[in-house]
A and B are shown apart, each in its own frame.
Chain A
Amino acid sequence: MQRIGVFVCWCGSNIAATVDVDAVVEAVKNEPGVCFAKNYQYMCSEAGQALIKDAIKEHNLTGIVVCSCSPRMHEATFRKTAEQAGLNPYMVEIANIREHCSWIHKDMKEATEKAVILARAAIAKVNLNAPLQAGESAVTKRALVIGGGIAGLQSAIDIADAGYPVDIVEKSPTIGGKMAQLDKTFPTLDCAACILTPKMVEAAQHPNITLYTYSEVEEVKGFVGNFNVKIKKKARFVDSTKCTGCAVCTAKCPSRKGGNEFNCNLDTRGAVYIPFAQAVPNVATIDTERCIHFKTGKCGICQKVCSAGAIDFEQKDEFIEEKYGAIVVATGFEILDVTKFDEFQYTKHPDVVTSLELERIMNAAGPTKGTLLRMSNKEHPHDIVFIQCVGSRGNTCRDKTYCSKICCMYTAKHAMLIREKYPDVNVHVFYIDVRTPGKNFDEFYRRAVEQYNVDYIKGMVGKVWEKENGRLAVQGVDLISNRRIMLETDMVVLAAAIQPSKGVRNIATMLTASIDTNDFLTEAHPKLRPVESPTAGVFLSGVCQGPKDIPETVSQAGAAAVKVVGLLAKDKLVTNPCTATPNELMCNGCSSCARVCPYGAIDYVEKEVNDHGKREVRRLATVNSALCQGCGACTVACPSGAMDLKGFSNRQIMAEVDAICR
């Protein structure tokens, strides 16, 4: 029989205002095994911890239950307290009577009753607890960064500067990401490429950084400190050790009909291409879906014109396997598909563009060489209408529920840049709210209104249609004057919502990292652990975690890097002793557990067993406790109930359920 102490925390008024803590102490005093019970204002305080330690010694306690906040908050605290008093830390159970009780109930009687039940369940569990010993695992001192945009680059550079090797996996042929497509950056209006390309070069030249461009993560196994990752290096059909980036092949390629993704498909590129002039690595890539050689077996012009002999039609995908201690996810974002918003005529009229398309139109390397032109007739526009919040802040099937955060600022930027360069162009902005929290952000927006005479209209656009003269009619509303607005314009620019990259679901599944309803990766704690995923060893950087601008992305990337460095600096990690163990006599070797194990921790052995005097060789599951993370999936999957989890055994869970149902 255990000797159990129960400690009920008031948490100031957080618990005590809703739960009658005296009544809880009275109710649990006579529970089986309980020989001490007390409440106190702040159990987590030094005085509270001293109270626990004294009680352990004085009453020879073998297990304790702390009725307090979530174990996410103070489980570690109370385990240490117990350890200091000579108790095994795994003889501590937390009954969460704050988040699961006092914070969510109003009625004191009901809340007290529930707190007692939660305490009883924890007591029932402690009665069956056994001391556990945590093991140790080594840390592989190498980090993986998934995504080579500004977020991934910054994280990688910071980790590499701290002295650890980093690999960047980027799925497209070059690093740089979305920022490379931007023309200018708010609120300082410096050229995006001018501040990004030095980072790209720094990453490429850094002795601690290895770039895997045109590559994707295929498989992730293992756990914090010991991830085994398989990376697929897709065949470029160009030998990157020979290619000099001279771009003769890209100029001579006769297959030129396909869209150029870098310029948002506003112009075309060859089937063999280098995405942009400052691409890193500056190596050509052959797009097999467009290449005449791959489609018909003929052509091969690129091979003929390449003086370096770099074109290799026989190149195969390569697979690299590497071990990492930590993984940073920096998969970034994409623009919402605005074709669903048919009222804006995006699919029908080339002069209706997204803001990212406008970035390319304004950029010197863009389809119009940086001259603002209508895409329909390549003429100078006289009027431009911007529409904000396209696909953001809605709750219908075509909208995202969140604010995309960056659109107000980039629209003010576009409006100002256009008015600066072309003072004859009238710029109108339809907005719902202008949101500009950020250093020098509101001043920036006000400058657009006050100094550049940009016409901001509070209201939305209902529809856009083409007039007979080829211009666009815009029907909107001005809510301030309660008037219908009809405008004739040459271009319409849609501030489309941003959303996480499509590939993030796949990555999150491989990493067992959780994502929210919008596919943004979830933080371990929204306030206190904002750059960590709930999966140990996985860190978040950039827009994959939520909409943010460049300065915020760079800050978060640095924060994620520090977390990675903190992990890699350790020689050993304490492992969780709550691992799965199979009962050999009950296991029938069916493999159900191995199929559901996300960590590849379960193997099978042929072993002789003595089943009630009958000796026979059976196929049995074995768990590698160094790999097991104690998720419990196998215990549920096992049809014969042979698999059990230390610290969360089936008996313990059932005892808790029994105590709750009593």
Chain B
Amino acid sequence: MSENIIRISGINPRQCMKCGKCSATCPAFDEMDVHPHQFASMVVEGRVDELLASETLWKCLSCFACVERCPRSVEPAKLIEAVRDCVIRQKGGSYLSPDDIPEKLDSELPQQALMAAFRKYRK
């Protein structure tokens, strides 16, 4: 699961030097149960389940203050976004599987409809 977060975010959480600049900068710090500086080490430790259940995913403003200030290019907002993506995509998975596309294709179908179908999730 940690590998998944690392792959989606494109971030190497091991670059973190635990300086806390992200949490020091974060405007939503007080609202969060897991603070931005904890994200990197929790991904490294494999504690992704706790992150998936965390309130922080919905409190993070995605203001990118931590991305701007992080001296180690860990960019916690991107890690948080990756975990958030995992939660959203978990809900039954995507409605459309890429493997099913070729047989559904017809020349009248607008491309946007295909793209939109990928964004719809089964409840």
Contact of B71 among A394, A461, A463, A485 (CB under 8 A): A394
Interface size class of B (residues with CB under 8 A): 20 to 34
Contact of B20 among A394, A396, A479 (CB under 8 A): A479
Q: Which of B22-30, B83-91, B95-103, B106-114 contacts A (4 or more CB under 8 A)?
A: B22-30
Residues of B within 8 A of A479 (CB): 18, 20, 23, 37
Encoded as 1 (CB less than 8 Å from any B CB) or 0, chain A from 457 to 496 comes to: 0111111000000000001110100101100000000000
Task: Judge whether B15 is part of the interface by a CB distance below 8 angstroms.
Answer: yes
Q: Which residue of B lies closest to A432 (CB)?
A: B19
Task: Judge whether A377 is part of the interface by a CB distance below 8 angstroms.
Answer: no
- A477 near B71 with CB under 8 A, answer no
Residues of B within 8 A of A463 (CB): 24-25
A432 and B24 in contact (CB under 8 A), knowing A395-B73, A477-B29? no
A393–B70 Cα distance when bound, in Å, is: 11
Task: Judge whether B53 is part of the interface by a CB distance below 8 angstroms.
Answer: no
A655–B99 Cα distance when bound, in Å, is: 56
A460 and B72 in contact (CB under 8 A), knowing A475-B24, A482-B35? no
Query: Restricting to B26-69, which residues have a CB under 8 Å from any CB of A?
Result: 26, 29-30, 35, 37-38, 65, 69
A477 and B70 in contact (CB under 8 A), knowing A432-B17, A459-B19, A462-B24? no
Task: Judge whether A218 is part of the interface by a CB distance below 8 angstroms.
Answer: no
Contact of A462 among B15, B30, B69 (CB under 8 A): B69
A638–B1 Cα distance when bound, in Å, is: 59
- How far apart are A393's CB and chain B's nearest CB, in angstroms? 6
- How far apart are A465's CB and chain B's nearest CB, in angstroms? 12
- A395 near B20 with CB under 8 A, answer no
- A461 near B24 with CB under 8 A, answer yes
Interface centre among A475, A477, A485, by most chain B C-beta atoms within 10 angstroms, is A477
Contact of B25 among A343, A393, A399 (CB under 8 A): A343
- A459 near B25 with CB under 8 A, answer no
A393 and B17 in contact (CB under 8 A), knowing A484-B29, A484-B30? yes
- How far apart are B119's CB and chain A's nearest CB, in angstroms? 33
Residues of A within 8 A of B15 (CB): 395
A477 and B17 in contact (CB under 8 A), knowing A394-B71, A394-B72? no
Q: How many A-B residue pairs have CB under 8 A?
A: 61
Encoded as 1 (CB less than 8 Å from any B CB) or 0, chain A from 329 to 347 comes to: 0000000000000010000
Task: Judge whether A602 is part of the interface by a CB distance below 8 angstroms.
Answer: no
- B23 near A395 with CB under 8 A, answer no
- How far apart are A466's CB and chain B's nearest CB, in angstroms? 18
- A432 near B18 with CB under 8 A, answer yes
- A396 near B37 with CB under 8 A, answer no
A463–B30 Cα distance when bound, in Å, is: 16
Residues of B within 8 A of A477 (CB): 20, 23-24, 29, 35, 37
- B26 near A399 with CB under 8 A, answer no
- How far apart are B25's CB and chain A's nearest CB, in angstroms? 3
Task: Judge whether A389 is part of the interface by a CB distance below 8 angstroms.
Answer: yes
Residues of B within 8 A of A399 (CB): 71
- A476 near B73 with CB under 8 A, answer no
- A389 near B19 with CB under 8 A, answer yes
- B73 near A396 with CB under 8 A, answer yes
- A462 near B17 with CB under 8 A, answer no
A479–B36 Cα distance when bound, in Å, is: 11
Encoded as 1 (CB less than 8 Å from any B CB) or 0, chain A from 416 to 459 comes to: 00000000000000001000000000000000000000000011
Residues of A within 8 A of B20 (CB): 432, 458-460, 476-477, 479
- A396 near B26 with CB under 8 A, answer no
- How far apart are B36's CB and chain A's nearest CB, in angstroms? 9
A460 and B30 in contact (CB under 8 A), knowing A394-B71, A395-B72, A395-B73? no
- A460 near B73 with CB under 8 A, answer no
- How far apart are A480's CB and chain B's nearest CB, in angstroms? 10
A561–B15 Cα distance when bound, in Å, is: 40
A308–B21 Cα distance when bound, in Å, is: 58
A458–B19 Cα distance when bound, in Å, is: 8
- A476 near B24 with CB under 8 A, answer yes
A479–B38 Cα distance when bound, in Å, is: 9
Q: Which residue of B lies closest to A400 (CB)?
A: B71
- B24 near A459 with CB under 8 A, answer yes
A475–B20 Cα distance when bound, in Å, is: 12
A482–B21 Cα distance when bound, in Å, is: 12
Q: Which residue of A lies closest to B36 (CB)?
A: A477
Q: Which residue of B lies closest to A479 (CB)?
A: B20
- How far apart are A328's CB and chain B's nearest CB, in angstroms? 34
- How far apart are A85's CB and chain B's nearest CB, in angstroms? 54
A460–B29 Cα distance when bound, in Å, is: 14
Residues of B within 8 A of A482 (CB): 35, 38
- How far apart are A388's CB and chain B's nearest CB, in angstroms? 9
Residues of B within 8 A of A389 (CB): 19, 71
- B19 near A460 with CB under 8 A, answer yes
Contact of A395 among B35, B38, B71 (CB under 8 A): B71
A476–B21 Cα distance when bound, in Å, is: 8
- How far apart are A455's CB and chain B's nearest CB, in angstroms? 16
- B26 near A462 with CB under 8 A, answer yes
Q: Which residue of A lies closest to B26 (CB)?
A: A462
Interface centre among B24, B26, B29, B70, by most chain A C-beta atoms within 10 angstroms, is B24
A396 and B24 in contact (CB under 8 A), knowing A432-B17, A477-B29? no
A461–B37 Cα distance when bound, in Å, is: 13
Q: Which residue of A lies closest to B24 (CB)?
A: A462
Residues of A within 8 A of B71 (CB): 389, 393-396, 399
- B19 near A484 with CB under 8 A, answer no
Residues of A within 8 A of B23 (CB): 459, 462, 477, 479, 484
Residues of A within 8 A of B30 (CB): 484
- How far apart are A392's CB and chain B's nearest CB, in angstroms? 9
Residues of A within 8 A of B19 (CB): 389, 432, 459-460
Q: Which residue of A lies closest to B30 (CB)?
A: A484
Residues of B within 8 A of A459 (CB): 19-20, 23-24
Residues of A within 8 A of B35 (CB): 477, 482
A343 and B69 in contact (CB under 8 A), knowing A477-B24, A479-B37? yes
Residues of B within 8 A of A460 (CB): 19-21, 24
Binding site for A on B (CB under 8 A): 15, 17-21, 23-26, 29-30, 35, 37-38, 65, 69-73
Can you identify 11 A-B contacts, CB atoms within 8 angstroms? Answer: A343-B69, A393-B71, A395-B71, A396-B71, A463-B25, A477-B20, A477-B24, A479-B18, A482-B38, A484-B24, A484-B30
Binding site for B on A (CB under 8 A): 343, 389, 393-396, 399, 432, 458-463, 475-477, 479, 482, 484-485
Known: A393-B17, A394-B71, A459-B23. 13 other contacts (CB 8 A): A389-B71, A394-B72, A396-B72, A432-B18, A459-B24, A461-B24, A462-B21, A462-B65, A475-B25, A476-B24, A477-B23, A477-B29, A479-B18
